[in-house]
Amino acid sequence: MFDKILIANRGEIALRILRACKELGIATVAVHSTADANAMSVRLADESVCIGPPLVRESYLNIPALIAACEITGADAVHPGYGFLSENANFADVLAEHRIAFIGPKAEHIRLMGDKIEAKRTALRLGIPCVPGSEGGIADPAEALRVAGEIGFPVLIKAAAGGGGRGMKIARSAKDLTYAVQTAQTEAKAAFGDDTVYIEKYLEKPRHIEIQVIGDGRGNAVHLGERDCSLQRRHQTVWEESPSPVLDSAARNRIGEIVANAMREIAYEGVGTVEFLYENGQFYFIEMNTRIQVEHPVTEMITGIDLVIEQIRVAAGSPLSVTQEDIHFNGHAVECRINAEHPQTFRPSPGQISYFHTPGGLGVRVDSAAYQGYTIPPHYDSLVGKLIVHGRNRTECLMRLRRAIDEFVVDGIDTTLPLFRNLVRNPDIQDGMYDIHWLENHLKTGGIEPE
Ligand code: ADP
């Protein structure tokens, strides 16, 4: 096992990783920018190192500063969390050169899945169903037109290096296509420095359902069921739940086994999420994330498995602590991502939290690094915390969630809490009847008032 883990992240995920390390008896190093000197993870870690100014490329993305922090403190492993360097294969390589473990998959798997075209090719080879589309990148609008002719409009142009919903354009007819290809290329070049784009059938009313996996790097892998992440705004999920209201256990086991087998075949190491769109009873692979995800707690709540602890164990060379037969799904869990944003305009609302009260009681979990008097810096994402609620079934879970949201108080800044108070009372949400466009349509007509 590792002696000392450096946590190359901030906010709630830094605290989440720190908690896992403490339970395992592993010493911790928190790193922080000058804007995060007062972070909870800095206060609670055994040691901390300032790695640079607020700008992420000079701090949380600054590989030489992170390596120096490992060497100063003698850390023998780095946990990258999510975002930042978590899917940067070059970082994993540099750490390996310095004989420091990267808590994540092998660099070759990060590279493979980071290129969405390669990821799709690999998925097809491994028997994972994919969205119909081009086999590789498309060179020009003429090729796009030929592929669109085969799969039919509407189509979606996507960036090979994509992430965060950027570089994605819909074309509903041949006359939109040239413009869609060109704007997707320009956006992809600006965001990722790579203008390779590909084309996919645009699904009109899918749900976003993803499968959690974990492998030991030696050919053992298990799936931990799904998360339904269909409630999205600008392709970013705001509410995640497990199990999905539309899957039964036969469908879950079928897709879960396909994914787990694929991971066994490539000897995947660590945690990963295979994302699908789901429409008319069919799954269509869209991408794989090779890291822990923001929404991992819903899976932990229904399986009882600590994913970060498992992740650290397999990175240290231990076998998986569970087999597929050991994994049981108990009850229902929902996560709400509470952001420091105006609930109607979604304008970021950094600043000082003057009063902070988190809910408690049976089945209620809050993953947050915020506290009363904490100032949310303007430089980073606006996540204040995640409220995760578990119940024996979906009805009990929503009943408890309604009560827990009403108990949550964050004063001094705007938050999206009113959005969740509204959603948990909505009949479509209560019935589980929503697709990936539901939330944006609801927001157009919903009229959610700030507090
Ligand atoms: P990113 O890496 O940028 O987040 P994804 O491939 O994960 O991109 O897609 C993000 C979201 O975009 C999905 O959750 C879904 O809402 C939408 N999307 C992606 N592909 C399609 C598609 N073929 N048809 C319809 N919507 C799609």
pLDDT tens for each residue of 175-188: 999 999 999 999 99
Q: Which residues of the chain fall short of a pLDDT of 70? A: 446-447, 449-451
CA-nearest of 34, 28, 37, 36 to 7 is: 28
163-214 pLDDT, tens digit per residue, is 877 889 999 999 999 999 999 999 999 999 999 999 999 999 999 999 999 9
Residue nearest to atom 15 of ligand 1 (CA): 235
Residue nearest to atom 11 of ligand 1 (CA): 235
CB 114, CB 87: distance < 8 Å? yes
* Enzyme catalytic residues: 291
pTM higher than 0.85 for the full model? yes
Whether residue 154 is preceded by a cis peptide bond, meaning omega within 30 degrees of 0, is yes
- Whether 295 lines ligand 1, by a CB cut-off of 6 Å, is no
Distance 386 CA to ligand 1 centre (A): 23
283 by Cβ neighbours in 10 Å (0-12 / 13-18 / 19+) ranks as buried
Q: Which among 228, 277, 291 is the best mutation to test ligand 1's pocket, defined by most ligand atoms within 8 Å of the CB?
A: 277
Distance 62 CA to ligand 1 centre (A): 29
Give dist(CA 252, CA 296) in Å, integer.
17
Give dist(CA 266, CA 261) in Å, integer.
9
Q: HSE-up of 82 (CA within 13 Å, CB side)?
A: 21
Crossing angle for the helix pair 89-97 and 63-73, to the nearest 10 degrees = 40
Phi, psi of 61 (to 5 degrees): -105, 10
Residue nearest to atom 22 of ligand 1 (CA): 202
Distance 174 CA to ligand 1 centre (A): 21
- Whether 286 lines ligand 1, by a CB cut-off of 6 Å, is yes
Tokens 């000197």 belong to which residue?
A: 37
377 by Cβ neighbours in 10 Å (0-12 / 13-18 / 19+) ranks as middle
